[in-house]
Amino acid sequence: MEIYGYQRKPLHSDAVSTLPLYRSAPLLEVRLEDFERFAIDRLRVLKGISDGLSRGKKPEEIENLAIDLWKANMRHPDASEVVNKDIIAHFVLRLVYCRTEDLRKWFLSMETALFRYRLRHESAEAQRALMAEFDLPYKAVSTSEFESMKDKLGQVARSIGQPLTPADTKFYTVPFEEVPELVAGRRVFLHKGHAYVAMNQVVSLVATQFRSHLSKALILTNRKWTSSIREQEKDRLTPIVEALCTSYLGPDYSEPREFAEISIRDIDQIAMSSFPLCMRHLFEKLREDHHLKHGGRMQLGLFLKGVGLKLDDALAFWKAEFSQKVGAERFDKEYAYSIRHNYGREGKRTDYTPFSCQKIISSAPGVGDHHGCPYRHFSEENLRAALGKMRVNSRAIEDVMDKVRNRHYQLACTLTFEAVHGTSCDAGINHPNQYFSESQKVVQLKVDPVVV
Amino acid sequence: MPIPYRNEVWLLVFLGQALGLGDGRGPPPRSTYRLAASRRVLSFDGRVFMNDEKKRPTPTFHDSACAISHTTNCPLKCRKFIMPHAVSPDSSPTVGEDVTMTDDSAVDTMMDTSQGDEPPSAQGDHQKNEDLEAMFDDEDDDEFTASSAPDSSVPAIIPPQSAKFSDPEVMRAFYQRLFPYKQLFHWLNHSAVPNHDFQHREFAFTLANDVYLRYQSFPSAELFRKQCVAQTPSRFEIGPVYSTNPRDRKTLRRAAAFKPLSKELVFDIDMTDYDEIRTCCSGGKICLRCWSFMKMAIKVLDVALREDFGFQHILWVYSGRRGVHAWVCDKSARQLDDNQRKSIATYLELLKGGDNSGKKVNARRPLHPHIERSLAILREHFQADILQEQDPWLEDEKAAHLLSLLPDETLIKSLQKKWGSSSHRSSKNKWADIDDLASSGGGSAKLDPRKLREAKQDIVLEYTYPRLDAAVSKHLNHLLKSPFCVHPGTGRVCVPIDPSTVDDFDPLDVPTVTELLGQVDQYFKDAGEEEAADAAARRAPDWEKTRLKPYVEYFRGFVNNLVKDEQNGKRKAEGGEAMEF
């Protein structure tokens, strides 16, 4: 069969690298079961990367993980078919993940991450070929310029733990706008708007290009999908495509589930019994300071929405606290809007979903902030004190700290859950609202034991 | 555009003043007469609107925020409505063309109502008429010529010195006489002829009753001035340039066609983020001691933006109370996307972690050239401005935080012992103790002098390095308060700060709005008869007669440089041939 909507020439073959750029879809015949199987294989890789990121693993660890996952999942008995499998799987997932903003965002970052890791494993020769392919605005730094900058360049290189070897004299200058990630990490020397990029860093350059190409392509694919493919393929591909993404995303807790509706009266007690540490901390700080900065308001506010706090109750709840600090009038003027906004009653009227662990772990709380993941963002002492307050016994605290040291923040949270509730939690914690509902299940069970 | 003044000729009249108009004592002033004869009148103070219902469609709310704040009687309170057909200013006739229209009935009705409300008082009438004339002349300023110079026949309507700066009449006078519209326009427009850079730019007004009006835009500086005078916003913010006129956004078929295109790269530094390390003031208060945090921030960021990123047009602005804003206006900066803005903000950010994370600076070694340069700048300030002036570790609790940032347990113990015996030892001495004890064997054998030096560097940075409100910088569509607004809490004008003389800038010396208005008043008093007749002096903008002058002139120079660069850039882009001639 032919995958619908794909045209133009076949890819690969004469390229130096085995890393395709997925510029255009291949004109290939694909069996229906391969269509789905290849996609699932690739999804396993992307999902693995996503989990690694949300556990806060180091870049090198994720890189190794990604390469291992790739080798394990994307094999093909016929060696000549490996590249085709890669390409087909990618384009199937494009269809799957082009359909909403959230899906696109996830796919984009995971595919870019994967591309980056694979690119780093390519030879310098292949990397250069890819740079040429993307027509990047790089300019080689002349020897004399390099000599005059050598000290600064060496300083940056050492500060990121990649000291220059005598052979490492190849640098490129690019406008700093082209390498935002290198700039953000202070991983390049900047002078008058130019970034001095080492050869081994061009990966970042190429990955940025890849990302922007893919981003545009996803929008186009989405248009094509909604305008024709979905309808034409409604008996064949559409069901597969639609099933593929839901099977992996898990619930997003945008709608309060089983324990819908909590009231303000119970909220303190519920917070004590069933909030994960990140939310407990915010909650306590709010009660203490009668104020939270924006990041904290978002994280706690959306969580409470997911927990089942109705808009009116939410307004009353926040007002009761904030008015003690800023006065009721200022609350109505400055803060009430954003709470209604969270509930989709203002602005573009999106009903925002509560933050997942991944999002919370990767947030970067600043001075005066209380949001974020305590396991990641607290110092060891503060975390110990906080766990002690939750009455986690000292043995369990050591286990938790051990996970924290290895950057398994979600596992640390899971252990805390188990210690607090005295039951095991096999699923692991990956969403504060999941923590809450699991906890409520346990609590309810204790209150009125199920009569079997 | 404040629609009330456009092709629908709406006017506002104060109730009491309307009385003066109708009671027949003496001839009405010239302008009032003309108005009564030619215009429908909308009574306004006391906030009553007269509306010719036959001709005029019902006002529609302009913004969802408005609908929520004033579900009832909104037009009475917030003067914020929009005529559906008045959206595109280019197509509508000018106000002047409408002047011939006559509709006396509205005037009559209005006078009827007002008569009942408040009987005329003889002695107040003369005064009222004068006020009225002044007011009409300003509202009637159809021929406004991009200069804020008032009509020469206008008597000053400057409120007495004692008036509060939040008083709407103070704000009205400020917007009429002092605000440098022309310079602001050039700054945002980048050339003399109005173009999309200005016309598609979002302004957001905060009105005196705290209604927040987003998506305002203006075809020209004159019309911008008019809305400011009419609505006397307590402040306004500047957002991005959009792909279409922000006022037209709801008429677009596809919502996605309305998107932000460009905006200055902005930074916001607020003293609240320093509260945990400043000891002299807290909350909204500042003094010269803690102002040095802002000086340090300006120095470090200014040099980084220029040297590292190559930006040239960086405008620093005092936020009116306790912070500073930076507007990077280079074309390349305006065109940055969110991701690039974020990368710059992250590059410049050093302090990590919330209040619970302990050590906030963990710089990699060797230091990145930017951090190294910053440290060199900040070190000078650390001795004087931090150790001496702030004395941050005087109290035991604060000293404990200092200890928690040091590496060696044994050293910490010896320091603890030493400080415990002499309470209230100054920060300067405590800082010196660290090295003294370390070199005299107070630390453990394995204490690495390099580690200690690095920890001390990190501490210097934690107490001096700029604390950015990075969220402001990361998004293209973030709004930031405009320069030259008046801070509603302090009355101080948000004046630019020249980074080359930042050490001399004193926030407590920044003029307040009431002070400036008093200076205009004083000028006319001092000038007396003969000079007042001098047309040139009258025509000069009023800010020249006040302490605002050096600030506006600095801003004008800044804008001139920016516009010059912009023109050069354009010429280059248009090709070399034009240059040959």
Q: Looking at the structure, tell me whether residues B324 and B453 fall in a common domain.
A: no
Which residue of A lies nearest to B330 if distances are taken between CA atoms? A193
Q: Is residue B59 a part of any domain in this protein?
A: yes
Range with top average pLDDT, A24-33, B121-130, B237-246, B393-402? B237-246
Range with top average pLDDT, A370-379, B246-255, B292-301? B292-301
Number of independent structural domains in chain B: 3
Q: Looking at the structure, tell me whether residues B351 and B380 fall in a common domain.
A: no
Q: Looking at the structure, tell me whether residues A82 and A137 fall in a common domain.
A: no
The per-residue pLDDT for range B443-477, each reduced to its tens digit, is 888 888 999 999 999 999 999 999 999 989 999 99
Q: Is residue A227 a part of any domain in this protein?
A: yes
Catalytic site includes residue B125: no
Residues from chain A that touch B365, judged by Cβ atoms under 8 A, are 159
Residues from chain B that touch A184, judged by Cβ atoms under 8 A, are 342-343, 346-347
User: Could you tell me the pLDDT band of residue B566, with boundaries at 50, 70 and 90?
Assistant: very high
Contact yes or no for B367 and A155 at CB 8 A:
yes
**Confidence (pLDDT) at B191:** 92
Q: Is residue A9 a part of any domain in this protein?
A: no
Cα B200 to the center of its chain, rounded Å: 19
Q: Is residue B127 a part of any domain in this protein?
A: no
Q: Looking at the structure, tell me whether residues B271 and B395 fall in a common domain.
A: no
Q: What ipTM is given for this predicted complex?
A: 0.71
Contact yes or no for B467 and A367 at CB 8 A:
yes
Q: What is the CATH number of the domain that holds A52?
A: 1.20.930.80
The widest CA-to-CA distance across chain B, in whole angstroms, is 99
A291 touches B: beta carbon within 8 Å: no
User: Could you tell me the pLDDT band of residue B168, with boundaries at 50, 70 and 90?
Assistant: confident
Q: Looking at the structure, tell me whether residues A347 and A271 fall in a common domain.
A: yes
- Interface probe with A: pick from B308, B362, B477, most Cβ of A within 10 Å: B308
Mean pLDDT, chain A, rounded, equals: 83
B284 touches A: beta carbon within 8 Å: no
Nearest chain B Cα distance for residue A300, angstroms: 16
**Confidence (pLDDT) at A448:** 59
Task: Determine whether the annotation assigns residue A413 to a binding site.
Answer: yes
Q: Is residue A300 a part of any domain in this protein?
A: yes
Residues from chain B that touch A346, judged by Cβ atoms under 8 A, are 64
Q: Is residue B451 a part of any domain in this protein?
A: yes
Q: Looking at the structure, tell me whether residues A396 and A280 fall in a common domain.
A: yes
Q: What SS3 state is found at B201?
A: strand
Average pLDDT in the A369-383 region?
A: 91
B160 touches A: beta carbon within 8 Å: no
Catalytic site includes residue B355: no
Kind of pairing between the strands at B212-216 and B260-262 = unpaired
Residues from chain A that touch B284, judged by Cβ atoms under 8 A, are none
Q: How many CB atoms lie within 10 A of CB B11?
A: 20
Closest to B377 (Cα-Cα) out of B304, B316, B429: B304
Catalytic-role residue among B264, B270, B389, B462: B270
Q: Is residue B308 a part of any domain in this protein?
A: yes
Q: Is residue A20 a part of any domain in this protein?
A: no
Closest to B479 (Cα-Cα) out of B201, B207, B187: B201
Average pLDDT in the A141-169 region?
A: 85
Domain boundary among B91, B107, B132: B91
Q: Looking at the structure, tell me whether residues A212 and A231 fall in a common domain.
A: yes
Catalytic site includes residue B268: yes
Does residue A350 surpass a pLDDT of 50?
Answer: yes
User: Could you tell me the pLDDT band of residue A254, with boundaries at 50, 70 and 90?
Assistant: low
**Confidence (pLDDT) at A188:** 94
Tokens representing residue B54 in the block: 């036959």
Q: Is residue A416 a part of any domain in this protein?
A: yes
Q: Which of A180, A366, A381 sits opposite B339 (nearest CB)?
A: A180
Q: Which of B308, B365, B467 sits opposite A191 (nearest CB)?
A: B308
Average pLDDT in the B185-205 region?
A: 95
Q: Looking at the structure, tell me whether residues B350 and B381 fall in a common domain.
A: no
Q: Is residue A27 a part of any domain in this protein?
A: no
Q: How far apart are CA A338 and CA A331, in angstroms?
A: 10
**Confidence (pLDDT) at B254:** 81
B348 touches A: beta carbon within 8 Å: no
Q: How far apart are CA B274 and CA B19, in angstroms?
A: 55
**Confidence (pLDDT) at A121:** 83
Average pLDDT in the B479-491 region?
A: 94
A253 touches B: beta carbon within 8 Å: no
For residues A253 and A160, the model is more confident at A160
Average pLDDT in the B185-195 region?
A: 95
Contact yes or no for B340 and A379 at CB 8 A:
no
Number of independent structural domains in chain A: 3
The per-residue pLDDT for range A72-127, each reduced to its tens digit, is 889 888 888 888 899 999 999 999 899 888 889 889 999 999 998 898 888 777 77
Q: Looking at the structure, tell me whether residues B349 and B378 fall in a common domain.
A: no
Within 21-50 of B, beta carbons closer than 8 Å to A belong to none
Within 333-362 of A, beta carbons closer than 8 Å to B belong to 333, 337, 346
Structural domain boundaries enclosing B414: 369-464
Task: Pick the range with the lowest mean pLDDT from A240-244, B224-228, B506-510.
Answer: A240-244
Closest to B513 (Cα-Cα) out of B206, B172, B63: B172
Residues from chain B that touch A176, judged by Cβ atoms under 8 A, are 309, 343
Q: Looking at the structure, tell me whether residues A89 and A173 fall in a common domain.
A: no
Structural domain boundaries enclosing A191: 130-201
- The sign of the torsion formed by the CA atoms of B400, B403, B404, B405 equals positive
A160 touches B: beta carbon within 8 Å: yes
- Angle, helix A409-421 to helix A394-405, in steps of 10 degrees: 170
Q: Looking at the structure, tell me whether residues A41 and A157 fall in a common domain.
A: no
- Give the rounded percent of residues in chain A with a pLDDT score beyond 90: 23
Check if the beta carbon of residue A152 is closer than 8 Å to that of residue A198. no
Q: Which of A185, A186, A377 sits opposite B370 (nearest CB)?
A: A186
Average pLDDT in the A334-356 region?
A: 81
Domain boundary among B409, B434, B464: B464
B347 touches A: beta carbon within 8 Å: yes
Q: How far apart are CA A405 and CA A386, in angstroms?
A: 16
Average pLDDT in the A54-68 region?
A: 81
Does residue B342 surpass a pLDDT of 50?
Answer: yes
Range with top average pLDDT, A246-260, A272-286, B304-318, B406-420? B304-318
Task: Determine whether the annotation assigns residue A278 to a binding site.
Answer: yes
Average pLDDT in the A223-245 region?
A: 84
Contact yes or no for B357 and A382 at CB 8 A:
yes
Nearest chain B Cα distance for residue A66, angstroms: 25
Residues from chain A that touch B369, judged by Cβ atoms under 8 A, are 152, 155-156, 189
Counting one residue from chain A and one from chain B, the pairs whose CB atoms sit within 8 A come to: 110
For residues B123 and A129, the model is more confident at A129
Q: Which of B273, B339, B344 sits opposite A367 (nearest CB)?
A: B273
Q: Looking at the structure, tell me whether residues A296 and A422 fall in a common domain.
A: yes
Check if the beta carbon of residue B209 is closer than 8 Å to that of residue B508. no
Average pLDDT in the B428-445 region?
A: 90
Residues from chain A that touch B276, judged by Cβ atoms under 8 A, are 367-368
The per-residue pLDDT for range A216-227, each reduced to its tens digit, is 999 999 999 889
Q: Looking at the structure, tell me whether residues B347 and B482 fall in a common domain.
A: yes
Q: Looking at the structure, tell me whether residues B391 and B335 fall in a common domain.
A: no
Q: What is A52-119 written as a DSSP string? A: HHHTT--HHHHHHHHHHHHHHHS--SSGGGHHHHHHHHHHHHHHHHTSSHHHHHHHHHHHHHHHHHHH
User: Could you tell me the pLDDT band of residue B536, with boundaries at 50, 70 and 90?
Assistant: low
Q: How far apart are CA B18 and CA B36, in angstroms?
A: 10
A212 touches B: beta carbon within 8 Å: no
Q: Looking at the structure, tell me whether residues A101 and A135 fall in a common domain.
A: no
**Confidence (pLDDT) at A246:** 60
Q: Looking at the structure, tell me whether residues B483 and B349 fall in a common domain.
A: yes
- The sign of the torsion formed by the CA atoms of A289, A290, A294, A295 equals positive
Contact yes or no for B471 and A181 at CB 8 A:
no
Q: What is the CATH number of the domain that holds B501?
A: 3.90.920.10
Question: CB neighbours of A152 closer than 8 A, spacing ≥ 6?
Answer: A189, A191, B369
User: Could you tell me the pLDDT band of residue A29, with boundaries at 50, 70 and 90?
Assistant: confident
**Confidence (pLDDT) at B190:** 95
Q: Is residue B177 a part of any domain in this protein?
A: no
Q: Is residue B561 a part of any domain in this protein?
A: no
Q: Is residue A13 a part of any domain in this protein?
A: no
